Amino acid sequence: MTRVVDRLQPGRTVFSVEFFPPRSDAEEQILWKAVRELEPLNPAYVSVTYGAGGSSRDRTIRTVGRIARETTMLPMAHLTGVDHSKDELRHVVGSLADEGIRNILAIRGDPPGDPMGEWIPHPHGILYADELVRLVRSCGDFSVGVAAFPHMHPRSTDVETETDHLVNKIRAGADFAVAQLFLQPEYFLRLRDRLAARNCHVPLIPGVMPITTPKVLSKFEHLAGVPVPSEVSAALDPLAEKPEAFRAAGIELITRLCERLISEGVPGLHFYSLNRAKATREVVDNLGLAEGVPQPV
C-alpha cells in the first residue's frame, strides 16, 4: 500500500480528510455518505481517529479496513497509547495490518474523561508518543505520522522544549507531522521555522476545520486549546443569529487561511470533516485542491 508521505509531492499542495469512528448505525450511514461524496475529489489520504474506549477502537479498525477495501482512497489510522500495554498496542497494529493498513498516526493520547488530568501511563504502556512511534516501526513496514501543536501542547511550558520533544518523536521514526488546529497562520509558520532551525524537514501538514456554525467555532477552542482570535470573533460573532451569513463568512475565512498556507508552500491541508462532506468540498472547490494546487516557486 502507498505511504502517506509518498502522496505529499514536492511542488503541489494536496488535501486529506479526517473522520471519527461512527458510534451507531445512523452515524455510520452519515460517515459513508461523506466518504462517498469526498472520494471523487481524490484526497491524498483519509484518516480515522482513535477513541477512548473498546468498541469505538474496534470501529476505528473496521472503518479504516472498509475504506481500504471498498474505496479508492488511502486510509491512515490514528492510534493512541491510552490504557494500552505495549503488547496490546502491538496487537492493535497487527489488526490494522490485517485490514491492509500501513499508515498510522502515532499519538500519546489524553487521560480518558479529563484531557488536562494527570497522564498516568499503563503499567506496561508508553509514557510519550516517541515510544509509540518506535513500537509501530518495530512491528513492520509502516509509515508513521505524529501530532504537532502550533499553539503549543496545553501541557507544555515553553515552545522551545516542546519543539525539542517534537523533533525527538520525529527522529524516533516519523515521516511527517499533522498540526493541531489554528486560525492565525503565523503560529503554524513559526512552528515550521523552529523545526527547520533544528534541521528537521519532514512534511508538516496544517489541520484545518471549516467553520460553519457557532458550535463548530467553539469546537475550535476546545480542540486548539486557545481562544478564538479577536479578529475572527469580530467578524463572526455579529452573524451568530444568521446561520447562512455565518456559514458563508466562516467558509470564506477558512478559504483565505488555506490560501495563505498554500502561498507558504505547505505540502497538504488536513481537513477535520466532522464526518460531513459539504463544507470540506466547498473549501476544496474554492481552492481547486482536487487537482492539487501548484506551490509558489
Residue 181: CB minimum distance to ligand FAD, A: 8
CB 207 within 8 A of CB 183: no
Q: Which stretch binds ligand FAD (CB under 6 A): 24-32, 108-116, 196-204, 232-240?
A: 108-116
Q: Which stretch binds ligand FAD (CB under 6 A): 1-9, 135-143, 152-160, 213-221?
A: 152-160
Considering only residues 250 to 279 of the shown chain, the ones binding ligand FAD according to CB under 6 A are none
Residue among 38, 40, 1 at smallest CA distance from 19: 38
Identity of the residue, 11 or 115, whose beta carbon is nearer to ligand FAD in the bound complex: 115
Residue among 289, 266, 276 at smallest CA distance from 211: 276
For the beta carbon of residue 28, count every other beta carbon within 10 angstroms.
17
Residue among 135, 105, 129, 134 at smallest CA distance from 45: 105
Q: Which stretch binds ligand FAD (CB under 6 A): 62-70, 165-173, 250-258, 286-294?
A: 165-173
Q: Which stretch binds ligand FAD (CB under 6 A): 66-74, 133-141, 162-170, 228-236?
A: 162-170
Q: Which stretch binds ligand FAD (CB under 6 A): 38-46, 147-155, 188-196, 244-252?
A: 147-155
Identity of the residue, 47 or 246, whose beta carbon is nearer to ligand FAD in the bound complex: 47
CB 286 within 8 A of CB 251: yes
Residue 121: CB minimum distance to ligand FAD, A: 10
| Site map (CB under 6 A) of ligand FAD, residues 119-138, x = contact | ---------xxx--------
Pairing, β 75-80 against β 103-107:
parallel
- Dist. CA 124–CA 166, nearest whole Å: 23
Please name the residue that has the C-alpha cell 509501530: 136
C-alpha distances in angstroms, 219 versus 109, 146, 173, 193?
18, 22, 31, 27
Q: What cell numbers appear for 132 in the block?
A: 509509540
Considering only residues 29 to 88 of the shown chain, the ones binding ligand FAD according to CB under 6 A are 49-50, 78, 80
Helix-strand-coil split of the chain, %, nearest 5: 50, 15, 35
Binding of residue 219 to ligand FAD (CB under 6 A): no
- Give the residue, chosen from 28, 88, 110, 259, that forms a contact with ligand FAD under the rule CB under 6 A: 110
- Give the residue, chosen from 102, 108, 137, 247, that forms a contact with ligand FAD under the rule CB under 6 A: 108
CB 125 within 8 A of CB 89: yes
Active site residue 18: yes
- Dist. CA 293–CA 13, nearest whole Å: 5
CB 31 within 8 A of CB 22: yes
Q: What cell numbers appear for 88 in the block?
A: 496490546
Residue 42: CB minimum distance to ligand FAD, A: 21
- Residues touching ligand FAD: how many (CB under 6 A)? 23
Identity of the residue, 90 or 235, whose beta carbon is nearer to ligand FAD in the bound complex: 90
Identity of the residue, 105 or 269, whose beta carbon is nearer to ligand FAD in the bound complex: 105
C-alpha distances in angstroms, 282 versus 30, 200, 268, 286, 290?
18, 33, 17, 6, 11
Residues that bind ligand FAD (CB under 6 A): 49-50, 78, 80, 105, 107-110, 128-130, 147, 153, 155-156, 162, 165, 168-169, 178, 180, 207
| Positions marked active-site | 18
